[in-house]
A and B are shown apart, each in its own frame.
Chain A
Amino acid sequence: MRRWFPNSEWVLLIALAFEIAVFSALGENFFSLGNFFEVVRLSVELGLLALALTPVIVTGGIDLSVGSMMGLAAVVFGAAWRDWRLPIPVAALAALVIGAIGGGMNALLIARWKIPAIIVTLGTFSLFRGIAEGITQGAVNYSGFPAGFLSLGQGHLWGVVPVQALIFALAFAGYAILLHRSAIGRTLYAIGFGESGARYAGIPVRRRLALVYLLSGLVSSCAAIIYVAHLGQAKSDAGTGYELAAITAVVLGGASVFGGRGTVWGTLFGLFSISVLQNGLRLAALPAEMTGVLTGAVLLVAIGLGQMRQKDAPAATLEETPVKNTQLAVLCATILVGSLIVAGTNAWLVHSIGAGASAPVASTTTSGHRPVVAMMPKAKGDPYFVSCRAGAEEAARDTGVELIWDGPTGLDPAKQNEVVEGWITRHVDAIAVSVENQAGISTVLRKARERGIKVVTWDADAAPDARDFFINQATPEGIGFALVDEAARLMGGKGEFAIVTGALSAANQNAWLVFIKQRLETKYPGMKLLTIRPSDDDRDKAFNETQTVMKVYPNVRLIMGISAPAVPGMAEAVRQSGRKDVFVMGLSLPNLNKKYVHDGVVQAVVLWNTRDLGYLTVYTAALLARGRLARGADSIEAGRLGKIEIRGDQVILGNPFIFNKQNIDQFDF
């Protein structure tokens, strides 16, 4: 027993079994094998990274570069396939080679040159991501992969099991054998317990360390390939933030950061406890931010309890003493709590929906059941979307629907898929998504439609067959043209200007840039675009960049910002520089810029009424959910907005709106 589960992980198995039993009893709508596997599907990429990190941490090291390597491998894969026209398997090989090279770099610096792993991988964390951004200029998004390849990440085996689950199972088996059965694995633990002691036993320490870091790079690139197949796109931002989640999973699973302790089972359970927690919170429609707070708390409690249980703890050192069983108890508790939340919410939902929860529920919406509309922004924290939410809630009140507002806290296409999956499980009546990644989300939206859920997209569209309607405030073309036209108006059609964008890899901003450049070419040859600087949606960074731009290009006449938080930063920079000859305009929220507009620093803010957009979206979704809207209609009555035009499958809000000194005070968002 102790051999299989040195840290008593068997307790967790029991907890999981209990959870599955509870859910099955509550009805398959809420927890079925199908949904379980979908959760698994979503965890595979992260799981692969966690697996790769386990032996690294067992040897007492760490690898912060795994997420960044995903990004680099993804773009190498995409470039190999699209630009160099290599067949998919060869492109995959190229990605794996890059993974090996990156892992090899870590191995050289850590194993051979004995530089502490934390700082080496901090450096490669920046380097790998940086190279990915550099070669794609952040913007390039490889997509359009053949269906056969995509089935690797989106397909099913035997109808239920996601393909990548199999890959994960293989990787898991491989690592289990490596770490727990093989001679090499034994030596890894010895190294973790004490490098010099391992040396004295004749273990080739440097070779072993090099191996684990090399493997880590390889597995990261493997995860990248699956990620690309899963989402249907390869971008430089793949895997952002995954390294921290992976480390959390490994440490929660009982591994000690100082080495010598950790098992693949523990890592798996650590991964599960995070997923279950997230899933539970999502199904219970609790705010996504709670995940972070709870995960942090669980991590602290788990490790803290493990520490305090050590009696005879030598007061002498500040080094950690190994973490053991109590941690696993906390893990169980987490899973149980997560399950109880889910179970409790589900029980409540069963009651509120009424009897016979086994069939899709569309038909019962007309009889006093309050439709549930689930709405997702691209990023919850973005002020733009926050203002949309206000309108959404207003419409929810006006139409009498229940509104769920959830989504990733930052741009994260993989997370969007997860959230939608959760809603499908919950069987909401309508889903409204502002799409970050068109290719990947369409699959899951189609699935929702198959289950009878109404789907609309808003702000950014998915594939046309994946949704019923698209609430369009303006096309990227419309936005790009509007921005350039307004800039041209201010500049008199000639002169030099600069653009401050959000993140280099943000899809919609890149789409606007395409049309901006196009408009410049066709209509305003006299205007010259000097440079495009990224601000990462950070006001302070936009401020710094603008200051620099004004120095580097003293003749700049206008700065255009296409990220909502950036414009006030740009404005402040221009104001502080005292240069009255530089115009500031861009796409932003009126409230953020009111003062600047009144002071004449910002001339124009281009947007549309985001509140109205949110309002219209929910209103449309509510109409759909109640069956009062179908394709073919050419207009709808949208509450306080009055009559809104429908063009085909697009519900058009209106044109981009220019906020300026004259009208900005009329708006409050």
Chain B
Amino acid sequence: MNLLEASGIAKSYSGVRALKGVSFDLQAGEVHALVGENGAGKSTLIKIITGVVTPDSGTLSVAGEVVAQHDPATARSRGIAAVYQQPALFPDLTVAENIAFALESGGLWRTVNWKSRTRRAAELLERAGAAISPDRLAGSLSMPEQQIVEIAKAIGSGARILIFDEPTASLTDREVERLFRVIRDLRAQSAGIIYISHRLEEISALADRVTILRDGESVGTHAMAAVTRDDLIRMMVGREISAIFPKRDAPIGEVALETQALTCRTAGIRDVTLQLRAGEILGIAGLVGSGRTQLAETLFGVTPADGGEIRVRGEVVEIKSPADAICHRIGYVPEDRRRHGVVLDLPIAANVSLANLPVVCERGLVQRGREEALARGYVERLRIKAASIDDEAASLSGGNQQKVALARWLAIEPAVLILDEPTQGVDVGAKPEIHSFMVELAERGLAIIMISSELEEILGMSDRILVMRGGTIAGELPRSRATQQTILSLALGQAA
């Protein structure tokens, strides 16, 4: 019996077609994996299933019944529950209450029984595989702990359709095992599970069927046993890997940046030792939660280090804030583009000059002419598509916003540039532009650190690859020895 059936689902966001007519079905008692690159449309499909987003066209039916009006509350009542990468818990409420919100329903005027809530929460947390006290405030939990609470919520809601979106990103091996046990239990109870993951070996171990999405379309649905990992990768990528990245031949120069036993307890980084040379693109790979962004933020001063040292061009430096980093000509294009990369409500010109206002100022006053010239220069150089440099960043597409973010950091004339997921959410046309630009910068002597979750990108762009795991470096791979398998095995902590 089909627990869930989606057919012809299409959705566009301001002109970008996220889904182009996807069909998908889920049966009772199966784990159905959903794979695809970033931007393939997986999260959009999930949002439609959970009612957060309404499709532009297509139908959705649950247990044979067509769903007309769909919203999160309806989804819940139909037995759909999701465990996202970013848990949406109430930070000021206890774990028990957070779980209760997912489980309980009924009138606004019903009374709440705290004892039974706490008891139930403890049970579910146990089943989800963790010993978290139900009385703790959700805001005090670590990310993996929050995820477990989310899993407990999903289990407890008695949902028949469960969606797991990259659930193992920050879990230890043991926790992963426990999760798999939970999922298998649920499957045995005739629930249907949609499992999204980049970790192909997980999917091989767990899933019954797999659907591959690519560029908003479904490439195919297959029994897990019938496909190999290579098949999957091929279907996800749809092209030969090596063809897309620009050829590189930059001379590698002096050491621009190095760290020695760098530690930041609050960020979870420990003992990171690395070297970065001018002209080099150093890729940093690792699973979500391995500490890549945290390392970048420590280097950039957002979460200043409390142990170890950083050297810029041979000199020991103290980086206690982003302003310090900028002083030492380190730039950082962050992962969260909309919140940290650009200021959406400021025009392009203002965004570009924001990190280096002195360069467009005369005695503290912004010189419009200079600012405009600066912005126009980058608009041209990076081929930013915008009507005018006075347009607000919010009006641009993801790719162009990323270019503006990049322009901001290029404007400080950095020696070191850290790029965190530089092409995430960037449209297909802009991606290669950004890549060729990175190569150009490296050829000009910039030292680049590139953090990416897309293995092809890492493999295609990097001269060397550092693999992170658990907040520290798990291993280093020169380009010649790097493959998806070697990276993944280091990332997972297994022998290559």
List A residues at the B interface (Cβ < 8 Å).
2-3, 177, 181-184, 186-187, 189-190, 193-194, 196-204, 260, 322
Does B62 interact with chain A (Cβ within 8 Å)? Answer: no
Residues of A within 8 A of B345 (CB): 193, 260, 322
Contacts of B364 in A (CB 8 A): 182-184
Total residue contacts A-B, CB cutoff 8 A: 68
Binds A, one of B3-11, B349-357, B377-385: B349-357
Q: Does B321 contact A (CB under 8 A)?
A: yes
Interchain CA distance A194-B368 in the complex, whole Å:
23
Do A201 and B339 touch (CB < 8 A)?
A: no
User: Is the pair A193, B346 in contact by a Cβ cutoff of 8 Å?
Assistant: yes
Q: Are A194 and B339 in contact, with the CB atoms below 8 A?
A: yes
Residues of B near A200 (CB, < 8 A) are 302, 322, 332, 334, 340-341
Interface status of B358 (Cβ within 8 A of chain A): yes
CB pair A201–B408 under 8 Å, yes or no, is yes
Pairwise interchain contact A183-B323, C-beta atoms closer than 8 A: no
Chain A residues touching B, majority SS: helix
Tell me whether A194 and B343 are in contact in the complex, defined as CB-CB below 8 angstroms, given that A201-B322, A204-B323 are known contacts. yes
Q: Is B128 an interface residue (CB 8 A)?
A: no
Q: Complex: how many Å from CA A200 to CA B353? A: 13
B binding-site residues for A, Cβ under 8 Å: 302, 321-323, 325-326, 332, 334, 339-346, 350, 353-355, 357-358, 361, 364-366, 368, 390, 408
State whether A202 touches B365 (Cβ < 8 A).
no
Residues of B within 8 A of A197 (CB): 339-343
Least Cβ–Cβ distance between A306 and chain B, in angstroms: 15
Q: Apart from A3-B390, A199-B302, list 11 A-B contacts with CB within 8 A.
A: A2-B390, A181-B365, A182-B361, A186-B350, A190-B346, A197-B343, A199-B322, A200-B334, A201-B408, A202-B355, A203-B354
A324 CB to closest chain B CB (Å) equals: 11
Given contacts A177-B365, A202-B326, A204-B321, contact A190 B340 (CB under 8 A): no
Nearest Cβ on chain A to B349's Cβ, whole angstroms: 10
A411 to B131, CA, bound (A): 64
The 10 A-B residue pairs whose C-beta atoms are closest, nearest first, are: A183-B357, A200-B340, A202-B322, A202-B326, A201-B354, A202-B323, A181-B365, A193-B345, A201-B355, A183-B361
Give the residues in chain A near B350, CB-CB below 8 Å.
186
Chain A, Cβ-Cβ closest to B297: A200
A–B complex contacts, Cβ < 8 Å, 10 sampled: A181-B366, A182-B365, A182-B366, A186-B353, A186-B354, A193-B344, A194-B343, A196-B339, A200-B302, A203-B323
Q: Which of chain B's residues have a CB closer than 8 A to the CB of A204?
A: 321, 323
Q: In whole angstroms, what is the CA distance A3 to B346 when docked?
A: 12
Inter-chain CA distance A341–B358, complex, in Å, is 50
CA distance A204 to B355 in the complex (A): 11
Chain B positions within 8 Å of A201 at CB level: 322, 343, 354-355, 408
What is the minimal beta-carbon distance from A311 to any residue of chain B, in angstroms? 13
B-chain residues with CB within 8 Å of residue A189 when the two chains form the complex: 346
Q: How far is the CB of A175 from chain B (nearest CB, A)?
A: 14
Closest to A200 in B: B340
Complex: A201 Cα to B326 Cα, angstroms? 9
Which residue in chain A gives the minimum CB-CB distance to B360? Answer: A183
A3 — which chain B residues lie within 8 A by C-beta? 368, 390
Q: Complex Cα distance A199/B365, Å?
A: 21
Nearest neighbor of B332 in chain A, beta-carbon distance: A200
CB distance from B398 to the nearest CB of A (A): 16
CB-nearest residue of chain A to B368: A3
Q: How far is the CB of B328 from chain A (nearest CB, A)?
A: 11
Bound-state CA distance A184–B366 (Å) is 9
Give Cα A177 to B364, complex, Å. 10
Residues of chain A with a CB closer than 8 A to B365's CB:
177, 181-183
Q: Is the CB of A196 within 8 A of B355?
A: no
CB <8 Å contact, B408 and A186:
no
Contacts of B408 in A (CB 8 A): 201
A residues less than 8 Å from B339 (CB atoms): 194, 196-197
Which chain B residues border A181 with CB–CB below 8 Å? Answer: 365-366
- Please name all residues of chain A whose beta carbon is closer than 8 Å to the beta carbon of B361 when the two chains form the complex: 182-183
Bound together, the chains give a CA A187 to CA B323 distance in angstroms of 13
Knowing A196-B339, A202-B323, A322-B345 are in contact, say whether A187-B334 is a contact too (CB < 8 A): no
Which of A183, A193, A202 interacts with B343 by CB under 8 Å? A193
How far in angstroms is the closest Cβ of chain A from B72? 11
Residue from B321, B322, B334, B354 in contact with A190 in the complex, judged by beta carbons closer than 8 Å:
B354
By CB atoms of chain B within 10 A, which of A2, A183, A201, A322 has the most?
A201
* Cα separation A184 to B365 with both chains bound (whole Å): 8
A569 to B357, CA, bound (A): 63
A187–B325 CA distance with the chains assembled, in angstroms: 18
Task: Kindly state the separation between the CA atoms of A202 and B351 in the bound complex, as whole angstroms.
Answer: 12
> Which chain B residues border A190 with CB–CB below 8 Å?
343, 346, 354
- Please, which residues of chain B bring their CB within 8 A of the CB of A182? 361, 364-366
CA distance A200 to B334 in the complex (A): 8
Residues on B with C-beta less than 8 A from A177 are: 365
Name the A residues within 8 Å of B321 (CB-CB): 202, 204
Interface centre among A183, A184, A200, A203 (most CB of B within 10 A): A200
Whether A186 and B340, one on each chain, are in contact in the complex, defined by CB atoms closer than 8 angstroms, is no
Complex CA gap A181/B340 in Å reads 24
Inter-chain CA distance A190–B341, complex, in Å, is 12
Distance in angstroms between the alpha carbons of A184 and B344 in the assembled complex = 19
Residue of A nearest to B358 (CB): A183
- Tell me the smallest distance from the CB of B491 to a CB of chain A, in Å: 26
A194 to B334, CA, bound (A): 15
Report chain A residues within 8 Å CB of B326. 202
CA distance A194 to B323 in the complex (A): 17
Closest CB-CB distance, B330 to chain A, in whole Å?
A: 10
- Which residues on the A side are within 8 Å of B357 (C-beta)? 183, 186-187
In the bound complex, residues from chain B placing their C-beta under 8 Å from that of A194 are: 339, 343
Q: Whole-angstrom distance between the alpha carbons of A405 and B365 in the complex?
A: 51
CA separation between A417 and B346, bound complex, in Å? Answer: 44
Contacts of A260 in B (CB 8 A): 345
CB of B354 to closest CB in A, whole Å: 5
B197 to chain A, nearest CB (A): 27
Contact residues in B for A184 (Cβ distance below 8 Å)? 364
Q: Cβ of A183: which chain B residues have Cβ within 8 Å of it?
A: 357-358, 361, 364-366
User: Which residues does chain B contribute within 8 Å of A2, judged by CB atoms?
Assistant: 390
| Distance to closest chain A CB from B43 (angstroms) | 16
Q: Which residues of A contact B322 (CB under 8 A)?
A: 199-203
Write out the residue numbers on chain A whose beta carbons fall within 8 Å of the beta carbon of B342: 197
- Return A199 CB to nearest CB of chain B, in Å: 6
- Among B302, B321, B345, B408, chain A packs the most CB atoms within 10 A around the CB of B345
A187 to B358, CA, bound (A): 12
For the complex formed, measure the closest distance between the CB of B231 and the CB atoms of chain A, giving whole angstroms. Answer: 40
A198 to B343 alpha-carbon distance, docked (Å): 8
Identify the closest chain A residue to B323 (Cβ): A202
Residue of B nearest to A184 (CB): B364
* Cα A199 to Cα B297 with chains together (Å): 12
Question: Shortest Cβ distance from A52 into chain B, in angstroms?
Answer: 20
Interface centre among B302, B344, B366 (most CB of A within 10 A): B366
Chain A residue at minimal CB-CB distance from B353: A186
Distance in Å: Cβ of A6 to nearest Cβ of chain B: 10
List the A side residues contacting B354 at CB < 8 Å.
186-187, 190, 201, 203
- Please give, as numbers and ranges, the residues of chain A lying within 8 Å of B346 by CB-CB distance: 189-190, 193
CB < 8 Å: which of B323, B332, B340 contacts A196? B340
Measured CA separation A201–B409 after assembly (Å): 9
A194 to chain B, nearest CB (A): 6
| Minimum Cβ distance to chain B for residue A180 (Å) | 9
Name which residue of chain A comes closest to B326, CB basis.
A202
Q: How far is the CA of A200 from the CA of B357 in the complex (A)?
A: 14
Question: Distance in Å from the Cβ of A475 to the closest Cβ of chain B?
Answer: 59
Residues of A near B302 (CB, < 8 A) are 199-200
User: Which of B334, B339, B340, B408 has the largest number of chain A CB atoms within 10 A?
Assistant: B340
Q: Closest Cβ of chain B: how far from A351's Cβ, in Å? A: 52
Instruction: Give, as a whole number of angstroms, the nearest-CB distance from A278 to chain B.
Output: 34
A459 nearest CB across to chain B (Å):
54
A residues less than 8 Å from B353 (CB atoms): 186
